[in-house]
Amino acid sequence: MWEGGHGERLDTRLGSRIVWATALIVALPVQASLAPIVSIGNTAPDIPLLVVLFFAFYHGPMASAVAGAAVGTALDLFAAGQGPFYLAAYPALAVLVSAIGRVTATVRALTVGAVVALGSLAIGVGHMVWGPPVEHADELLAWFTAKLASQALYDTALAWTLYVGWVWRHPPPRDGLGERDEFFSARRLQGLIR
Amino acid sequence: MAHPASGSKRAWLIAVGVVVFTAVAFLPDWQQRPVPVVVRPLATAYGFASQTVASAVGWVRDTWSHYVAASRLYDANALLQADVDRLASERNALLEVAEENRRLTALLDFRAALPASSHGARVIGRDPSRWYQSVTIDRGSHDAAVTDMGVAVPRGVVGTVVKVFPSVSVVLLITDRQSAVPAIVQRTREQGIIEGTMAGRLRLKYLPPSSEIREGDVILTSGLTASFPKGLMVGTVTRVDRAEGALYPEVEVVPSAALAALEEVLVYELAPAS
């Protein structure tokens, strides 16, 4: 039990880590079970992607890469695709978003919307390229408009909802790169990680 | 002021007069005798009055009877309506039982018609990535599930098991663009490959250029893989495009299974290698 100013900060850090770890762990089951319920047409929010991106907003590149790799590995395991597509895509995206968050110092609504929209589009296009070749141009065009665009819009709308509900009042810290990797550098995890 | 005795005498006189008049007018013996000229008009008037009263009484009696009958009809109608409601409820229950019986019979017949044995499974989730078309079922390696097992519902083919875990398996739906299932046109017996598209539909490929396939044709599994027995319903042709110079006609097929509303499925054991 910590007491005093520094101890209270560590306690908050521990709670934050637990919340983020829980979000990363339950993202896939929530997506698999609840997404069909909240789907609009053929589009449902990409909850694992949103969790990884928001995690990257609040953490450094190293922690974001590890979180992205964990969620990506789980996705590659339980999704129907072949090969480590998400294991490659999610850490790269997370590191990029973490760097953007560090450069912009504090996350704004426009940043959140743009990053999530671009992330959703990137994952969709990457998935399309990763899979079998598309034989019909009209089919590809229809997919871009009906699936990819609607998916990006839905994800962006949900991201803005999260921004209004949480990020706006709890912006990411203006820490440097090393300090922002505190997800792994806090005292309780030092012995395990290092 | 009138004397009381005069009123009493008048009453007696009237009473005696009525009795005498009645005796004169209606007693058979008296009617056969000559009636005095004075009595006949009175008798006629009385008869007319009596008929009038009788008619009025009859009318009242009939009206009352109808009213009473109507009241009874109202009650009887209420009872009959209650019976109708009860019978309607029983009919609905019987229809529900009949529908359940029809479904179970169809399922049993369906399973009995299959050369390969199958096991029921429950759909417990959708693809977590949002980019593949797949479902997760509650049968895994502990239940002898292996990859490439075919999955279907009585209405048609659902997909193929692509990943197996101890307690769950991932089924790639036939509408995913990674999916390919050998198929046959029921009417023409021409064989091709059913593939998924990016739009979540089906396309029948590699038919001969001279194929006579047309809209409305039924597509079945051809049985050329171990995943599915021959003859399972895949879908119905909705569009045939014969582009000039194309190697084969483009055939669009709508899956017969309701892939967006899957709850329970049948998983087929792999057919033994021939």
Model confidence over A63-122: pLDDT tens digits?
889 999 999 988 888 888 888 889 999 999 998 888 776 655 566 788 888 888 999 999
Mean pLDDT rounded to a whole number for chain B: 81
Residue that the structure tokens 């910590």 belong to: A2
- Band of the pLDDT at A190, cuts 50, 70, 90? very low
Question: Is B4 a residue whose pLDDT tops 60?
Answer: no
Interface of B with A in 180-239 (CB under 8 A): 197-200
pLDDT of residue A187: 44
Q: Which of A106-110, A170-174, B93-97, B115-119 has the highest mean pLDDT?
A: B93-97
Identify the pLDDT of residue A111.
81
More confident: B211 or B99: B211
For the four alpha carbons of A129, B246, B236 and B185, in that order, the dihedral sign comes to negative
**For residues A111 and A140, is the Cβ–Cβ distance under 8 A?**
no
């079998």: which residue's tokens? A132
Nearest to B134 among A79, A146, A151 (CB): A79
Q: Does B258 touch chain A (CB under 8 A)?
A: no
**Listed residue (B262, B267, B259) closest to B123, CA to CA:** B262
Cα separations (Å) of B71 from B68, B76, B84, B103, B159?
5, 9, 20, 48, 66
A85, A165, A164, A177: which is closest to B131 by C-alpha?
A: A85
Count interface pairs A-B at CB distance under 8 A. Answer: 80
Q: Identify the CA nearest to B231 among candidates B240, B222, B239.
A: B222
pTM: 0.66
Q: Residues B218-265: pLDDT tens digits?
A: 999 988 888 888 889 999 999 998 887 778 888 999 999 988 888 889
pLDDT one-digit tens code per residue, B23-49: 666 665 555 455 555 555 655 665 566
Phi, psi values for residue B133, rounded to 5°:
-110, 100
Q: Is B174's pLDDT higher than 80? A: yes
- Among B213, B201, B163, B159, which residue's Cα sits nearest to residue B181? B159
Closest chain A residue by Cα to residue B134: A80
Closest chain B residue to A74, measured at CA: B128
- The answer to whether the CB atoms of A80 and B126 lie below 8 A apart is no
Chain A contact set for B134 (CB, 8 A): 79-80
